[in-house]
Structure 1
């Protein structure tokens, strides 16, 4: 599956095989994952299911068929996956991945509708509980869009908020969790009665939570299901409140599940996430935020000691002031094999790491410490227990999936007992297949009077050979200047991380011939809540000042950077900042700007879908605090706009409607400022389709290369090479 390239281009990045996180089997001998590849020659994507031998690092492809997805382990040798069929049906297929005979797979049942997000749990009676997500009709039945009777009119009528979300107009259909049980007879699994039961029918609850909810929103235990869902009594456009619920199930064959029991968390009323059963099945760990109108509040790590008594929860690292002693944002959770330890991911200075702590809050007296993992950020991790050669007792092993700024997928093993990590497989040979190396990646810390700003730096691969090495320190010094490319991240509560992206990949820009600087200013996550929360009421204030300071520091302290040929790009909040920069002094320091799905006017923020977002960040509603919106409105400063700018927007972006891009472009054109508009009718806030993404990259790179002078450099190099011939 390795793709080899001498230069990392958009085509190389978009064509490279994309691996899902790896999932080990119970004994930790094999890892299951999927691979998707897009061919620009054939204009199609192929996907297959693969198995990695953890000991040797070699992979096989047991499933290579169209429509196969959602593979999960049933045991050490057998997997269960979904095969999409005719008229929207889904067939459950079992395959022995260690056998090569055609008889090694069979169908375990067919569901008359699309399903996904499979999870399974072996029960004490030898059966296997199964849960999955699917769309349900208002009466609780499985929804199949292929067999739906189409109405004669396309009109939609609404009488309440939240009419659309992300890229979809909301309807009466709901995301729901369905469950069933697999029996094993004569060596084969079969879905009992060939049916699944909607666990949430008649509850007004919806889970996984759209638009990004998945397997992390629910879990299976030996005594039932836990899941998170929005509070049905609060308006989802105004409030973020999602609660944790428990549905007791003994056999997973119950045709009428008992009503969900809510897990109470006094004082915490925001998002709930990542519920995970302990191995004993009685305890549940999960996270919850405090504020019910702040989507980026700090998640608190919580424990339900006995799921049968969901009224009692305990918070890890709780403090009397309610802020919590651990100034990090816990995300994914896993229990140690004997339920005495928890493993939790959290961001830390442009990386996502795995932290370990005791599984009981009273024993968690010291702040969590990170475990060793390869360069980059943890994208996923799974635990299995194995015995060492010298002992029969089992210890925890973590199968970790990471990515980095140069590597799109790396599988490794982390051993908590010895605090060691071993790389098993890298899809890009740790960047070498792309012509990239770790020597290109760096970071800087820009000092400030009250706080410092951290930024990632990616230099061209040619810099490694172009730069001379000092004889005493071994450090490199510049022998050539490269134009600066500054990337502004979205969110604003987000961060540039040492991780892979196919949408905003700093290495793509670096390989054009830029020194790419990715600052994490006020509002960024992973640097403590004070910096993150500092964005409130400061959209064009502190972050803009941080970027100004970063620009000046880079030009003054990085001799390889040519600040006279600088360009800046940003998306979402980063797009807001590009428009803000355009109207302020920093805008005159850039040769060209690129705004992707950005904010033209903050007074239009109420055209978005999740209104709790502007209510929080602008300190109130538009009608209560209009001056707070007006203060940071880029449209107030359009008289100052002067720098050439590319505007990109998509028509399915309901978070920031396409009119924001049109308005900015119209101003630029009316003012006779060099400008261009790129529109995607079939994309949302992100450009995800391969062919569209290729056009995106060509337009973006063409724009900045024109104004930074890189186009002229490339033409001169080509002409010089032609003269040599």
Structure 2
């Protein structure tokens, strides 16, 4: 049994750490103490013990940062989330909530005197407020059915809140005399999305007066409309924004339903005027995504991100600004090939800060509106994520890397240098030896330069030979950047004794639009050759055991593994495919986002005159099963509606019928990801056991 000594995790946040008045109460939440580890190598249990920092917001006076930390209780198989504050100038971190229920959506009231947050004290999530030190919590809303989010108007006269509104009939509305019936009756597409069946409700925005007593009801600004804002399933309140004078709202919405919704990405920005009740489409001329609106500090301009082409979710994310008086719109990305995301205005409205991926890292950039010049502010082996905020002459940012979970930093915009503001996971990180992360460039089959990361095991010995893994990225248009994950964690793989090769093959952003767009309708083409170029180049190193190579990946990476299984010509000795496409024909008629399939595959398999589509279907892994000869672990979640779990079943069943060693790790309650602690640990253990069996 592990011998464990405990240290206070709060004392490790920053400095000596202090507790607010809320902490004097009996402890109700789960904030784990930091164990003294027996080994300096990562384990699945340690991986799931890191605190996850998020929900960051700077106080109106710019002096204090509000943020949340989520911890997972492995034994209870659940998460606990609490709120904290820390001074911008550094110093003690204060925990301001301490309950058995999770607080979420926290934000400062515009006058800085209260913190609003979402809390479900009586089973329904409502708006609560407390003092900045966590004292005197008071319930503010009593909206029937609860709310899902809120924002104060800058003048503090109103709030908007979001909630689900039932507008469609379910089976019991259709047949009220059959209360025990359990059925669905569908007549159009988009009846399920990612991991949830449509529940006959739509996300709507409500505006209510604030400060006139408890909020019980607001005005539904999308009343009767069967559309979602924020959009399902992933959009948040970054898609709804107040004007600085509190008289208008701008929100993003894809005002389509059913089949039309499944075929299009045409999301527009709508301006709602509180006084007149009128709604205006600001971006009707653009046919792709228009999202993440943000008013300038003086309210004269609106910035947002935009994609030009309908149905192409990986198109260039451009930075647009509109003069609200003249209606003039400017595309500041016109002469720039990178993406722009997580926009924020400087306090004087002269600059827009944003995040962009460049050569497999996510960096902070600024746009000077007067000159139109885009400048890169940071450079390093890291990802900055989420929008930055101007704090005491510096930028408050969240930074993560392959070797460290997210923490808060202050970045000097003149030098690009940063300094940590929080150290939530210092106690664990100080006890772990992380493997070296090395950047390389290798030549492809057509003599192009390809970027890749090589992650080495802790205590790497160049005189030894190591089993090596080729990591195949999903997306397919998702950069292999400096991300941290509880599943595809490169340091976890390295700690298991493997070298990891993670190429930024064709189809990934951060390397120009030509590199990004090559993959569409060419799934089995040059990007597969890029995988071979990466593993073949690194395999030449004397410390790589060429007889012990494996390939692993999820989603498009899972497809890649399934395809490699029929084309690898003896390179690999083990495969792991998570949520991977196996049969393209079946995938087309069982997935939900048809815009994705139509763009990336080229169209339906029955369109015999579509040469691009027919070429795509010729890459389907199920067509090459007769060439499979290598042990394969297949993993899938039943609630994965993006790539239905029958794709994983097909791959596993085919392998068994071919007498190929195989396992099927199936999660009935998981989706495209693995989100619960115990399932996550099972995933990591089986992942390691399978590779160790065939590569060690």
TM-score normalised by the chain length of structure 1: 0.85
1:608 aligned residue: 591
Distance, in Å, in 2 between the alignment partners of 1:453 and 1:634 is: 25
Please show how residues 16-35 of structure 1 align to structure 2 within 5 Å.
Answer: 16-35=50-69
1:374–1:136 CA distance, 2 compared to 1 (3 A): farther
Is 1:80 matched with 2:116? Answer: yes
The alpha carbon displacement at 1:602 in A equals 1.2
In the alignment, what sits opposite 1:209?
A: 231
Gaps of 5+ in 2: 1-8, 13-33, 170-175
CA distance in 1, matches of 2:656, 2:320: 53
Q: How far has the Cα of 1:49 moved from its partner?
A: 1.1
- TM-score, structure 2 as length reference: 0.88
Please state if 1:462 is matched with 2:486.
no
User: What is the deviation of 1:151?
Assistant: 4.6
Aligned mates of 1:598, 1:240 — CA distance in 2: 23
Shift of 1:63: 0.9
Matched, 1:328 2:350: no
Matches within 5 A, 1:149-548: 151-183=179-211, 190-191=213-214, 194-221=216-243, 222=245, 223-232=247-256, 235-250=260-275, 258-264=277-283, 266=285, 268-306=286-324, 312-317=328-333, 324-359=334-369, 363-364=371-372, 366=373, 368-372=374-378, 375-384=381-390, 386=392, 395=393, 397-417=394-414, 419-429=416-426, 432-433=429-430, 435-437=432-434, 440-448=436-444, 449-463=446-460, 466=461, 478-548=462-532
2:126 and 2:146 in contact (8 A); partners too: no
Deviates more, 1:417-426 or 1:540-549: 417-426
State whether residues 373 and 421 of structure 1, in contact with CA within 8 Å, keep that contact through their aligned partners in structure 2: no
- How far did residue 157 of structure 1 move? 1.6
1:434 CA displacement: 5.4
Question: Contact 1:176 / 1:206 at 8 angstroms: preserved in 2?
Answer: yes
Cα distance in 2, alignment partners of residues 31 and 412 from structure 1: 11
Alignment of 1:528-677 (within 5 A): 528-556=512-540, 558-586=541-569, 588-606=570-588, 607-624=590-607, 625=610, 627-677=614-664
The CA distance in 2 between the partners of 1:649 and 1:286, in whole Å, is 36
Aligned partners of 1:523 and 1:530: how far apart in 2? 9
CA distance in 2, matches of 1:445, 1:623: 41
Q: 1:699 aligns with which of 686, 691, 695?
A: 686
Aligned to 2:405, the other structure's residue is in SS state coil
Structure 1 ranges of 4+ moved more than 6 A:
none
Deviation at 1:374, TM superposition (A): 6.5
Asked if structure 2 preserves the Cα contact closer than 8 Å seen for 1:287 and 1:302, the reply is yes
Question: Which residue of the other structure, out of 111, 116, 126, is the alignment partner of 2:148?
Answer: 116
Is the Cα–Cα contact under 8 Å of residues 10 and 697 in structure 1 kept in the other structure?
Answer: yes
Cα deviation 1:586-615 (Å, max 9, x = unaligned): 5x2111100001111111221110111111
- Given that 2:361 and 2:380 are in contact with CA atoms closer than 8 Å, whether structure 1 keeps it comes out as no
Asked if 1:136 is matched to 2:165, the reply is: yes
Distance 1:315 1:598, change over 3 A: same
- Note the alpha carbon deviations across 1:154-173, whole angstroms, 9 max, x for none: 22122222221111122431
Cα distance in 1 for residues equivalent to 2:55 and 2:436? 25
Distance of 1:11 and 1:128 partners within structure 2: 47
Question: Structure 1 residues 56 and 699, CA, compared in 2 at 3 Å: closer, same or farther?
Answer: same
Q: Are 1:264 and 1:313, in contact at CA under 8 Å, matched by a contact in 2?
A: no
Distance in 1 of aligned mates of 2:486 and 2:431: 13
Q: 1:391 matched to which residue of 2?
A: none
Q: What is the CA-CA distance between 1:542 and the residue it aligns to?
A: 0.7
Instruction: Show the counterpart of 1:718.
Output: none
The structural deviation recorded for 1:83 is: 1.5
Deviation at 1:490, TM superposition (A): 0.5
Evaluate the alpha carbon distance shift between residue 544 and residue 286 of structure 1 in structure 2; reply closer, same or farther with a 3 A threshold.
same
- CA distance in 2: counterparts of 1:181 and 1:359, whole angstroms: 35
What does residue 94 of structure 2 align with? Answer: 60
Q: Which residue of 1 aligns with 2:15?
A: none
> What SS is found at the alignment partner of 1:304?
strand
The total of aligned residue pairs comes to 645
Deviation at 1:430? 9.9
* C-alpha contact 1:337 1:385 (8 A) present in aligned 2: no
Query: Residue 48 of structure 1 aligns with which residue?
Result: 82
What secondary structure is seen at the aligned counterpart in 1 of 2:636? strand
On the 8 A contact 1:12/1:434 being kept in 2, the answer is no
Could you tell me which runs of 5 or more consecutive residues in structure 1 were left unpaired when the two chains were aligned: 141-147, 185-189, 251-256, 318-323, 387-394, 467-477, 710-725
Alpha-carbon distance change, 139 to 553 in structure 1, aligned in 2, over 3 angstroms: closer
Structure-to-structure mapping, 1:6-25, within 5 angstroms: 6-25=40-59
For residue 80 of structure 1, report the CA deviation from its aligned partner: 0.7
Matches of 1:502 and 1:269, distance apart in 2: 36
* CA distance in structure 2 between the partners assigned to 1:42 and 1:171 by the alignment: 28
Q: What is the DSSP-based 3-state SS (H/G/I as helix, E as strand, rest coil) of the residue aligned with 1:332?
A: strand
* Distance change (3 Å), C-alpha of 1:693 and 1:634: same
CA–CA separation in structure 1 for the residues paired with 2:654 and 2:127: 54
